[in-house]
Amino acid sequence: MTKEAKIIALKNRMNVHSVFSLILFLALFTWSNNLFSQKKLVKLVRADVSEFDKSYIDAQRVKGNVQFIYEGTLFYCDSAHIFTNKDFDAFGNIRIIKPGEFNLVGDVMHVDQKSKVATINNNVVLRDNQMTLTSNRLIYNIDSEIASYTGGGKIVSNANQNVLNSKEGSYHTKTEIFYFRNKVVLKNPDYTVNSDTLKYNDRTEVAYFFGPTTIEGDDTFIYCENGWYNTDKDICQFNKNAFVRSEKTELRGDSIYYNGEAGFGEVFKKVTIRDTTANFFISGEYGYHEEKTKKSFVTDKALLTQFFEGGDSLFMHADTLKSVPDSAGKDVLYAFYGVKIFKDDLQGKCDSLVYAVSDSTLRMFNEPVLWSDENQITGDSIRITMANNKVDRMFVRENAFIISETRQGKYNQIKGRKLTADFIDSKINSVYVEGNGQLVYFPVEEKKDSLSTKPPKLIGLNKGDCSNIFIQIKENEIKKLRLEREANSTFSPMKMADSANFLLDGYKWLIDLRPMSKADLFLKPNIELELEKGK
C-alpha cells in the first residue's frame, strides 16, 4: 500500500454541510404547511388587482406585483389563485425570500391542501449562503415532511464550487437524511464522484454510496458498489468489488477502510496490491497500511507474484509479507515465517526473507534451501542477485552445501564455509567454495552413443578436501574441478569405493520440501509435517 490510502480518505472533504443543504427545503415550505391555519394566516401585502369571478374560476384572483408575507417570509408573483378549499396557485416570476436565509424563484407553484403537497415548477432556483440549487420541479409533502426534486437537479456549493447533479433528490426532515438517486455526479476541483445512489445523514455526518460508484481524481481512481464516508471523523470504507488505482499502484479487496485521523488503512478479504511500475502484486486476506511510516503488510495466504518478460513469473508465499520504503523511497519486502518460492528455474524455502526491489536482491535466512535444476543449495544464509529478470549470482554464507542427484541415484556434494555461484540463463555455470572445502563427486564415462537414453556408467568416487574449491558446470555435469591450498584428494573405482564415504557430514536431501508448482506453495508435504511434530 502506498500514498493512495491517503487519497482513499478523501481528505479534500465533500463539504457535505454545503452540498447537502437541501435542509432548506423545510424552511422553504414551512409557510405552506400553515398557510391556511386558523391561527396563522398569510397576509396579502399588495396587488394591482384583486377580484372574484366564479364563472371564470372559483377562487380569489390577485394580479400585478403581488406580494404576500408570512412569518417574515416574503412571497412575490405576477398572479395568484386562492381557492375556497384552501388550495393555492401562483404564477409568473415567483420569488420567495426569507432575509438572511434563502431566496427561491420559479414560474408556477401549487399547494394541494388535501394531499398536503406543495409543488414549484419550471426554472426553479434556490439560493442560500452555502449553495445554489436549480431544478425544474420541487415538491414538499407536508405530512411526511419529505422535500424532493424530480427531472434533474443541480447543487453548487458557494464555498468550494462543489457541483452535485442527479435525476432525483430528497430530504426527510424528521430523520435529517438526504437521498440523491439516478446518475448522481459530484464534481470537486480535486475529484469527481459518480454514483447510482448517494445518501447523507445530517445527524451522524455520514455519507453512504449505493450501487456502482466511482471517485476519480487527477491520479487516482476508486470504485466500489457500496460504501460510506464519515465527514466529521474522516473515516471511510468502500465495499463490494472495491479497488483503488493510481499511477503506480492498484489496490483491491472486498472492503477498504481508512481512518484519516489515525492515519492507517485496512483491506479485508481477497486483497491484492499491484505495483505496476515493478510489475508485481501481493495478495492475501488482510492488508494494513500506516500513512506516516509508509509501512504496509499483507497476511493470511500472503502471496507475491512478480511477472518477467517472456511469460515467466516468480511466486513467493509466506505467513506475512511486509513492505517498508528504503532511504530512496524504493520498496523493501520482508517475508516472515514459512517462506516458499517457486519459479520455473528456481525454487526455495526458508523461515524469513528480504527482497530489495531497487537492486533485485533476495536474502534468505533461517535454514534456507534453494533448488536450481538438479542442485540443492543450503547454508546459514543465502543471497541472490538478479539481472534481466534472471538469477545472476548467489552467495551462501556459513555452512554452504550443494547436493545434486546423479541419474544413477548417487549424490554429488560440495561443502565449505562460504560459496559463490555464477549463473548463465539461470543455470549454475561455476561454483567457488572458500574455507574448509570438501567434495564428493561421482565422475561418469563419456557417452559413446549420443542417441542413447541410458544413463552413463559411474567411473568411481572422487573424494577430497582442501581450503578452496573451484568447479565449472555444464549441462548439470562437472566439467572442470580445481582444489586449492592443502588439497587432499582420493579416487576409488566404483567396485572398490566404500559406501561410508558416499555422504559428507551434514548431508540432508530435502527434495520432498521442493515446491514443484505455485499450488505447492500452500501445501505442507509429509516431511514438513513430521518436522513440525518433532519440534
Residue after which a domain boundary falls, among 143, 164, 185: 164
Q: Flag whether 511 is in a domain.
A: yes
Residue 449 predicted with pLDDT over 70: no
Q: Flag whether 127 is in a domain.
A: yes
Q: Flag whether 501 is in a domain.
A: yes
Residues spanned by the domain of 129: 21-164
DSSP assignment string, 430-481: EEEEEEEEEEEE--BPPPS-TT--SPPPB-EEEEEEEEEEEEEEETTEEEEE
Residue 133, pLDDT score: 83
Q: Flag whether 510 is in a domain.
A: yes
Residue matched to cell numbers 573405482: 493
Q: Flag whether 329 is in a domain.
A: no
> Coil, strand, or helix at residue 534?
helix
Residue 233, pLDDT score: 81
Residue 37 predicted with pLDDT over 50: no
Confidence of residue 528 (pLDDT cuts 50, 70, 90): low
What span, in angstroms and rounded, lies between the C-alpha atoms of 12 and 5? 13
Q: How many domains does the chain have?
A: 2
State pTM to two decimals.
0.70
- Per-residue pLDDT of 279-310, as tens digits, reads 778 899 999 888 778 788 899 989 998 887 77
Q: Flag whether 75 is in a domain.
A: yes
Burial 139-168 (b: 16+ CB within 10 A, else e): bbbbeebbbbbbebbbbbbeebebbbbbeb
Q: Flag whether 403 is in a domain.
A: yes
CATH number at residue 89: 2.60.450.10
- How much of the chain is in helix, strand and coil states, percent to nearest 5? 10, 60, 30
What span, in angstroms and rounded, lies between the C-alpha atoms of 271 and 5? 14
Residue after which a domain boundary falls, among 145, 164, 183: 164
Which residues are CB-neighbours of 37 under 8 A, at least 6 positions away?
none
Q: What is the DSSP letter of 219?
A: S
Residue after which a domain boundary falls, among 125, 146, 164: 164
Which residues are CB-neighbours of 273 under 8 A, at least 6 positions away?
1, 249, 250, 251, 252, 267, 281, 282, 283, 287, 296, 298
Average pLDDT over residues 205-229: 87
Q: Flag whether 311 is in a domain.
A: no
- The mean predicted confidence, pLDDT, of the chain is 81
